[in-house]
């Protein structure tokens, strides 16, 4: 049985006992629009209510990426124009992230290729997270004057050691082995076997459960390499456990080797305000009771980021003028006023309905 419905940039298909959700903006690396968020939410509702669907598989069209994140140009335009799109997008995206984390059926995310920002939200909250040799996973938000959202402040503090702090502050991508080591993925499958994986899931009985999916994934999985984060876990722990960004940078300066030097160099190119905000959100996320608490805190910060000059400057430099040379204000960590961060921690009104 192959019943297919097209909802704009999302293709929804029932294949055997598998419900397939395919992000269909390959030229834009499947970056998410509000319409896509809504289409995915509808598909999840439909599949949850369909007794013939045993598993749900989410994947990206094209061979370059699963999902590069939210459509930040649209968020930029919404903020500049003071429209409701940005807030609506974040509210519905965060509700979707929570729905994925609590979904009633086995949810399989195929994070093949570029998986960043909102793509991590679509994948890493799922019950079964698959990466490939082509995966490049990152939360790159400090490079655009933003901060890791989509529940990253719940996920990243729970990564091995301080790997999540490294990922959040640097914004650098990691490959499959380190994504698994960080707890953001479960298994590595060769990209050429993904179609076989989907067909195998489609052939599973209607009563299949998570342990059955795990058996399929184990049968097709590869042994992941030990990536640079795993190789430098002790250094990362020493440098990134500190309570301030300045202390982290000082610790990195005291470490020998290219890894520490490169990490420090990259951090110094990021928005100082974003670095301070991100570290504070991560530390509060570590103490949070659940994902919902983190998502609500992130939403409050999102609403304030629309009033931040660095947000607009970062997106200008990255995707509008593409000069890759943002002029952050303030320029240095020393100039960031801690009191200026307080509005980012005002609870959203109304809170998310989760």
The residues annotated with a catalytic role in the active site are 70, 118, 141, 149
Locate 321 and state its tokens. 């003028």
Contacts of 30 (CB under 8 A, 6+ apart): 23, 24, 60, 61, 62, 65, 66, 67, 68, 119
CA 51 to each of CA 3, 7, 18, 44, 215: distance values in angstroms, whole numbers, following the listed order: 15, 22, 11, 13, 22
Residue 15, strand partner residues: 2, 18
DSSP classification of residue 50: -
Q: Is the separation of the CB atoms in 231 and 153 below 8 Å? A: no
Locate 15 and state its tokens. 């294949």
Q: Identify the CA nearest to 55 among candidates 235, 206, 169.
A: 206
Locate 157 and state its tokens. 């503090």
C-alpha span between 9 and 11 (Å, rounded): 7
Contacts of 143 (CB under 8 A, 6+ apart): 171, 269, 270, 271, 314, 318
CA 352 to each of CA 42, 136, 342, 347: distance values in angstroms, whole numbers, following the listed order: 18, 30, 20, 10
- Please report the DSSP string for 172-203 in residue order: --B-HHHHHHTTS--EEE-GGGHHHHHHHHHT
Locate 346 and state its tokens. 């005002």
Q: Which residues of 281-318 are buried (b: 16+ CB within 10 A; e: fewer)?
A: bbeebeebeebbbbbbbbbbbbbbbbebebbbbbbbbb
Q: Is the separation of the CB atoms in 272 and 321 below 8 Å? A: no
C-alpha span between 98 and 139 (Å, rounded): 18
């Amino acid at each position: 049985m192959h019943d297919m419905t097209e909802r704009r940039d999302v293709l929804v298909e029932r294949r055997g006992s598998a419900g397939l959700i395919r992000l269909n903006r390959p030229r834009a690396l499947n970056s998410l629009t509000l319409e896509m968020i809504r289409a995915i939410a509808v598909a999840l509702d439909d599949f949850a209510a369909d007794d013939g669907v045993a598993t749900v598989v989410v994947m990206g069209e094209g061979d370059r990426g699963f999902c590069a994140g939210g459509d930040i140009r649209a968020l930029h335009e919404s903020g500049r124009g003071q429209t409701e799109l940005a807030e609506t997008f974040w509210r519905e995206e965060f509700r979707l992230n929570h729905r994925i984390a609590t979904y009633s059926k086995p949810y399989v995310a195929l994070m093949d290729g570029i998986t960043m920002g909102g793509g991590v939200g679509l994948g890493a909250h799922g019950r079964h997270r698959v990466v490939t040799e082509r995966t490049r996973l990152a939360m790159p938000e400090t490079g655009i004057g933003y901060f890791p959202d989509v529940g990253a402040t719940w996920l990243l503090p729970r990564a091995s050691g301080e790997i999540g702090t490294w990922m959040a502050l640097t914004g650098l991508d990691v490959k499959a082995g380190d994504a698994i080591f960080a707890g953001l993925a479960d298994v590595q499958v060769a990209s050429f076997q993904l179609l076989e994986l989907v067909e195998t899931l489609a052939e599973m009985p209607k009563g299949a459960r998570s342990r059955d999916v795990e058996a399929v994934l184990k049968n097709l999985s590869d042994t992941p390499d030990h990536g640079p984060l795993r190789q430098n876990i002790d250094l990362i722990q020493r440098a990134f456990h500190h309570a301030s960004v300045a202390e982290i940078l000082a610790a990195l300066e005291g470490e020998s080797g290219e890894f520490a030097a490169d990490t420090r160099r990259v951090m110094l190119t990021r928005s100082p305000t974003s670095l301070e905000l991100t570290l504070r959100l991560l530390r509060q996320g570590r103490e949070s009771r659940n994902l919902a608490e983190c998502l609500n805190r992130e939403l409050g910060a999102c609403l304030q980021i629309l009033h931040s000059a660095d947000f607009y400057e970062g997106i200008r430099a990255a995707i509008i003028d593409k000069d890759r040379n943002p002029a952050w204000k303030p320029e240095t960590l020393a100039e960031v006023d801690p009191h200026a961060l307080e509005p980012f921690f005002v609870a959203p009104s109304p809170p998310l309905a989760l």
